[in-house]
Chains A and B, each alone.
Chain A
Amino acid sequence: MFHATLDSSKTWKQIVDALATLLTEVNFVVNKNGITLTQLDSSKVAMIDLTLPAGVFQEFNCDEEMQLCLGVDELTKISRRMAADDRLEFDVGDDKRFEIKMIGQAERVFRLQMLTPPDNQAKRPDLKFMAKLEMNSDALKQAVKDIGVISNHIKVTADKKSVIFAGEGDTGEAEVQLTTGEDSVIYDLDSKEKSTAMYALNYLSEIVKAVAADTVIIQFSDDKPMRLDFGIAEAGSISFVLAPRIERR
């Protein structure tokens, strides 16, 4: 049995939108501590890792660990039906259906059939990063859009003092340079040596759309995956890991 309530439908929408960037099916693991999700997208190029501690919710009860496997398409359609001031209630009872109740001027209930969960849980790749930075998330979104004008991939370079986003395509080149210092959109930068890696923009632009927090932490190494961490639903956190695009010679 599972029961939880959430005062803000906006928070729920953010969660669903973040998952919809990469997944067509979501597989939540629910236990007394809260809700988690660790999933690869079907191309195995990117991964989402979501943690929603019980404290995110106003009420939260779960007597035994369970997996909630649901279609993202349905979740998105339902979250679009939520009014801004609706209160939400989530329940899984004995009928094994996922029930979403929206309580506002009317009381509306959606019951979703659950899908069969995958056989094995995705494991997290073992990663060490050479560069770590914390920056303003709007600045990141703008940089991704800027590079997208010219290129379909983005090259990220970090050294002690600056971060450069760059790209090139048939029509030319683009570059966004951000330096640390007072009033900078880079809040923190830790990169002892120069690190460079390239990532596909079609994945990255989907991922940055999901960022609803003000700041985001980016970590990466030379030609290795990039990890993005940001807060979601106040006490919750989400991270995306994206595999690089490799140039072969």
Chain B
Amino acid sequence: MYYSDLATTYSAVEQTSGTLDKIEKFSELLTRASADDIESVIALTMGKIHPDWKDEPEVGIAEKVAVQIVAAAAGVPESEVTDSLRDVGDIGEVAEQLLSKSAQATLFSEDLSPNDVYEALDEVAHLTGPGSAREKISKMVGLLSDSEPLEAKYILRTAMGDLRLGLGDMTIIDSLSVAFTGDREARSSIERAYNVSSDLPWVARVLLSNGFEEVTSVHPQVGRPIRMMAAKKLATSEEILEKVGGQALVEYKYDGERVQAHKDGDKVVLFSRRQERITSQYPDVVEMVTKHLKPEVCIVEAEIVAIDPDSLEMRPFQELMRRRRKTDISEMRDTVPVALYLFDILYVEGEDVMDRPMLERRTLLEEAVSDADRVRLTSAELVNKSERLDEVFKDAVATGHEGVIAKAVHDDSVYQAGSRSWLWIKLKASYKEGMADSVDLVVVGAFHGRGKRTGLYGAILAAVYDETTDSYPTVCKIGTGFTDEMLVEMKQRLDDLGRAERHPRVESDLDADVWFDPELVIEVIGDEITVSPTHVAGKGILHEGGLAIRFPRFTGRWRDDKSPNQATTVEDLVEMYKNQRPEGP
């Protein structure tokens, strides 16, 4: 396969708007891929040379550098590139236009394959040290000089980490299913393999070369994060018990950072919910895992909670995040010590136990942990009456916990990697006021403050994540819930993310004063979800308008532990809207 095949398909995918059409076009291309190039094809399409958890550098070409690259490759002055960038708005398109007029030739030109492009970008990503900035530009110029204008457009976008095709992970999975099994029936098995391995290019190659059977039997591997299972939310204990089948294991919800610990002898790796390696931030947790987990090899999940060094009492999540941002770990380890509350086990001594029912896993976990002051299982109780669930909830809140999670215990109560599942349901303290659920929103824009807030942001524009189109449609404008300190911190945190134009993946009908790269995730509660003419989230799914959050307020929780595509999704929002009961009299 040539990269030009990929570029032609990208162009066709970009020009159609329907998800099914996109799947059809992309899957047709996938049928032409071979075992040798499918991994490059998927990685390039995802815009990620390596999965996050591999801790490899990203290509990360900034727009300013991209301008220099295009200028050199097209043999035009930088000012010409900047001028047409102002008109066109997308550097990829600028490259396509300029390169079709004139181009620098290379001494040995070759038709690019997806592997050529992948390897060249990987090389660029790995250049470090003195002279690397110049070398990066030079390599990219060589790559663009070898490519046709249309290829250049997508190579450049990939290098900048944003292909802008509206092909999200889920749509790529659909396309793989169609390409290699004929229809979308197989998508859930492929998705499961992805959730267990966190490596979609690899899954694609297994699918192509070993067949669908092999994909259905993908097991976890120590050192490779499993995409975390997440909980749904409901407002009352009655609903929760009904949903999980009458009986639930009710666990305290600790106000900490969720971690997935992989242990192989004395080698321990800690992954965050965003699948980042956080091993070096928590040397104390590594020690706890080595000392207090009996199996030689295992994968467990736990909540890391900040505690008071003297009283050992729990401290709020913000304390922990403060520690996460610090570089002087050894000092923070003493001032913000942590405790580890374990709640699940997914793999033990070579055996995949994700498909065992919840209580069996809980027993395995009990057997695996030798309790200590700061290492223990989450407090949990088997409950079948809603009154009791409410009592446990009250106790949890009274003792400084966030609330409770009720987990199904029936035969099918498996660990559903990567999904937000009705098997786990959250009842949180904050739901007692206003909207039933809090949401995690992505900050995409802001409006300048006036009066007391001059120089700061007066309100921010927030978005949810749309999994099918891989974009961020807005849901509300938030102007309340901020203390002065929060506003100052908000400004600082957003400083590096600012941009003059709306980010291409942000969808908004409102015109913000400042736009941001969709990066920062914050927790927000509101009064209710309403249909809105102003906001675009879920537009067309339910009614004429999109969905909006009414009277939104910032809770003060910065969700540094979440990446933007782990924010509340359009699908979540639609479900919350449907579950919303009419207000009482």
Contact = CB atoms under 8 A, between A and B. Distances in A.
Interface of A: 24, 40-47, 72-73, 123, 125, 152-153, 169-170, 198, 200, 202, 225, 241, 243-248
Given A44-B142, A72-B131, A73-B131, 12 more contacts: A42-B138, A43-B106, A43-B141, A44-B107, A44-B146, A45-B106, A152-B75, A169-B77, A198-B75, A243-B106, A243-B107, A245-B105
Which 9 A-B pairs rank lowest in CB-CB distance, beginning with the nearest? A43-B142, A245-B75, A44-B106, A43-B141, A42-B138, A243-B105, A43-B138, A44-B142, A24-B131
A244 to B, nearest CB: 5
B568 interface: no
A41 B77 contact: no
Nearest to B132: A24
B104 A125 contact: no
A204 B79 CA distance: 20
Given A45-B145, A246-B103, A246-B105, A152 B135 contact: no
Contacts of B107: 40, 44-47, 125, 225, 241, 243
A76 to B, nearest CB: 10
Contacts of A24: 131, 134-135
A44 B77 contact: no
A225 B106 CA distance: 9
With most chain A CB atoms within 10 A of its CB, the pick from B109, B134, B138 is B138
Given A125-B107, A241-B107, A42 B102 contact: no
B76 interface: yes
A144 B135 CA distance: 24
Contacts of A40: 107-108
B230 to A, nearest CB: 44
A243 B99 CA distance: 16
Contacts of B134: 24
B139 interface: yes
Nearest to B104: A245
B106 A152 contact: no
Contact of A42 (B77, B80, B100, B135): B135
Contacts of A46: 107
A46 B142 CA distance: 10
Contacts of B142: 42-45
Given A44-B108, A44-B146, A202 B72 contact: yes
A47 B134 CA distance: 17
B63 to A, nearest CB: 20
B130 interface: yes
A10 to B, nearest CB: 25
B466 to A, nearest CB: 38
Contacts of B77: 152, 169-170
Nearest to B105: A243
A46 to B, nearest CB: 7
A247 B75 CA distance: 10
B101 interface: yes
Interface of B: 72, 75-77, 79-80, 99-109, 130-131, 134-135, 138-139, 141-142, 145-146
B546 to A, nearest CB: 44
Given A42-B135, A44-B146, A153 B141 contact: no
8 contacts: A43-B139, A43-B145, A44-B142, A44-B146, A46-B107, A243-B105, A246-B104, A248-B99
A238 B76 CA distance: 29
Given A125-B108, A152-B76, A245-B75, A41 B138 contact: yes
A44 B138 CA distance: 9
With most chain A CB atoms within 10 A of its CB, the pick from B104, B130, B135 is B104
Contacts of A170: 77, 79-80
A38 B135 CA distance: 18
A248 B73 CA distance: 13
B139 A42 contact: yes
A27 to B, nearest CB: 15
A46 B141 CA distance: 12
Contacts of B145: 43-45, 243
A41 B142 CA distance: 9
A200 B131 CA distance: 21
Contacts of A41: 138
A118 to B, nearest CB: 12
Nearest to B103: A246
A247 B102 contact: yes
Contact of A73 (B80, B104, B130): B130
Nearest to B108: A44
A75 to B, nearest CB: 12
A169 B106 CA distance: 23
Nearest to B78: A152
Contact of A200 (B72, B100, B109, B138): B72
A73 B108 CA distance: 26
A45 B104 contact: yes
A198 B130 CA distance: 32
B102 A248 contact: yes
Contacts of B75: 152-153, 198, 200, 245
Given A44-B107, A200-B75, A246 B141 contact: no
Nearest to A40: B107
Contacts of B72: 43, 200, 202
With most chain B CB atoms within 10 A of its CB, the pick from A42, A152, A200, A247 is A42
B327 to A, nearest CB: 29
Contacts of B102: 245-248
A232 to B, nearest CB: 21
Nearest to A152: B77
A74 to B, nearest CB: 9
Contacts of B146: 44
A200 B130 contact: no
B251 to A, nearest CB: 53
Contacts of B139: 42-43
A225 B109 CA distance: 13
Contacts of B76: 152
B59 to A, nearest CB: 15
A243 B106 CA distance: 5
A169 B109 CA distance: 28
Nearest to B73: A43
Nearest to B71: A152
Contacts of B109: 44
A246 B99 CA distance: 10
B213 to A, nearest CB: 38
Nearest to B76: A152
A202 B75 CA distance: 9
Nearest to A22: B138
Contacts of B141: 43, 45
A200 B141 CA distance: 13
Contacts of A246: 102-105
